[in-house]
Structure 1
Amino acid sequence: MEFTILPVTPYQQNCSLVWDADGVAALIDPGGETERLLDEVSRRKLVLASVLLTHGHLDHVGAALELRERLGIPIIGPQRDEAFWLDSLPQQAELFGFPPAKAFTPDRWLEDGDTVDVGAIRFDVLHCPGHTPGHVVFYDASARLAFVGDVLFKGSIGRSDFPRGNHRALVAAIREKLFPLGDDVRFVPGHGAMSSFGHERRDNPFVGDAAG
């Protein structure tokens, strides 16, 4: 698998473009700036096959519906408990000063243990609630790489003060689902720099070994 990170929107959300050796590609969490994302797909001569969503916050899904409508590609994820966030996209856009957004339903809801294929790439799906109730993580075991959305960051963790957030569930998801994947696993967070689970297990003040 190859990938590049494309920060979008004023929130600098990490949209990830991933592709296999044959150029079959997906966009993970396309939060906005549709033309810029499509220009990158075209520049790399890729075939965009799907949109993958970790959760339903506007800065992660803002371009998803337009991509589906323009290209006829499916929106996959998140877990179905995110429906209330996706239904509230018009209100989210107004609240945060984004362009108008429409509510939508994904073509496929995901559950813990599912797999998602992007050409030759296979992602394992981990349901990791806490930041939002239906948040999922996409993990490529062969690449030792995870796309974790807003669950975990370099030196921090996701907020849990949104509606239906749960701090205890968030910490449990990180410690019981992500860290056991291995210290060598790198991850792309929803915002900011990449890190590894080992680094965060050792040094993260919120969920690291020293945090108790």
Structure 2
Amino acid sequence: MKFERFIVGMGEANGYIIYDENTLEALIIDPGDEAAVFAGYIQKHGLKPKEIVLTHYHYDHIGAVEALKEKYNCPVSIHKKDVEGLKDPNINHSFRGYRKPVSITPDRILSDGDVIQAGSVALIVVHTPGHTPGSICLVVKDENIAFTGDTIFDDDLGRTDLEGGSPESMKRSITNKISKWEDQVRIYPGHADSATMAFVRAKNTEYLDLLK
């Protein structure tokens, strides 16, 4: 298994491509903008995209979805509680003229515990509402790796003051799910750099305050 991070768009969002080195089947996670950047990497490595997986519906994580779906004819998946937000441009919104509002209808509706497969690579869906109702983390099976979207970052947590956000849901997600991850699990968030859970437990004050 290999993966690559791409920092794209005005919001400097992280998108990822994860793939099986043998079959070259790939998953695209949160392609927020600059479809050509993702496409260039796919072409360079001869990858075969199988699915576009979204951790949530916000504009800075979905901007390249339409172009990549059309180019590779691959399905788009999102948690069932974020479907309406993805389809409604008044919710996923254009930000300060960043781009025109978009309405995307997903092809696959995800639930907690679902598995998304590309070759030998398997992502386990963990429903972590709080930033949005359908926010998810994607845990790589048999690896200490989790793609966390805007749920948790290296030194803070995702905002809960936007439409669909919920401090109560965030607290439950962190307490009941993310806090159970072992120290060696490395999170790859939707913005900023990766970190181990050991680092999070030492430095992430929002995480620590919430658990109190």
TM class by shorter chain equals over 0.9
Inter-partner Cα distance in structure 1 for 2:48 and 2:14? 20
Deviations 1:129-166 (A, max 9, x none): 00000111110131210000000011100000011211
Does residue 1:163 correspond to 2:158, yes or no?
Answer: no
Partner Cα separation in structure 2 for residue 210 and residue 168 of structure 1: 10
Deviation of 1:34 after TM superposition, in Å, equals 0.7
State the number of aligned residues. Answer: 211
Q: Where do residues 60-75 of structure 1 align in structure 2 (5 Å cutoff)?
A: 60-75=61-76
Contact 1:81-1:133 within 8 A present in 2 as well? yes
SS of residue paired to 1:157? coil
Q: Provide Cα deviations, 1:90-137, integer angstroms capped at 9, x if missing partner.
A: 675544312224312111111111111122111111000000001111
What secondary structure does 2:57 align onto? coil
Is this contact kept in 2: 1:88–1:103, CA < 8 A?
A: yes
Kindly state the Cα deviation for residue 209 of structure 1 after the two structures are TM-superposed: 7.2
Unmatched runs of 5 consecutive residues or more in structure 1: none
Paired residue for 2:30? 29
Identical counterparts, % of pairs: 29
TM-score (norm 1): 0.93
Q: 1:167 to 1:98 in 2, by over 3 A?
A: same
Give the alignment of 1:128-139 within 5 angstroms. 128-139=128-139
Counterpart for residue 44 of structure 2: 43
Structure 1 residues 60-109: Cα deviation after superposition (integer angstroms, max 9, x where no partner): 111112211222101122x1211232123367554431222431211111
| Contact 1:202/1:209 (8 A) holds in 2 | no
Q: Does 1:145 align with 2:145?
A: yes
The one-letter amino acid of 1:33's match is: E
Write the deviation string for residues 146-205 of structure 1: whole angstroms up to 9, x where unpaired.
000000011100000011211121122123212212111001000001011222123211
CA distance in 2, matches of 1:116, 1:197: 23
Q: Structure 2: how far apart are the matches of 1:177 and 1:103?
A: 31
Counterparts of 1:91 and 1:160 in 2: how far apart (Å)? 14
User: Aligned Cα RMSD in Å?
Assistant: 1.8
Shift of 1:211: 5.6
Equivalent residues of 1:201, 1:208 under 8 A apart: yes
One-letter amino acid matched to 1:40: Y
Say whether 1:182 aligns with 2:188: no
The residue that corresponds to 1:96 in the other structure is 96
Dislocated runs of 4+, deviation >4 Å:
90-93
The answer to whether the 8 Å contact 1:30/1:61 transfers is: yes
CA distance in 2, matches of 1:192, 1:131: 16
Q: Who is 1:173 aligned against?
A: 173
Listed as ranges, the gaps of 5+ residues in structure 2 are none
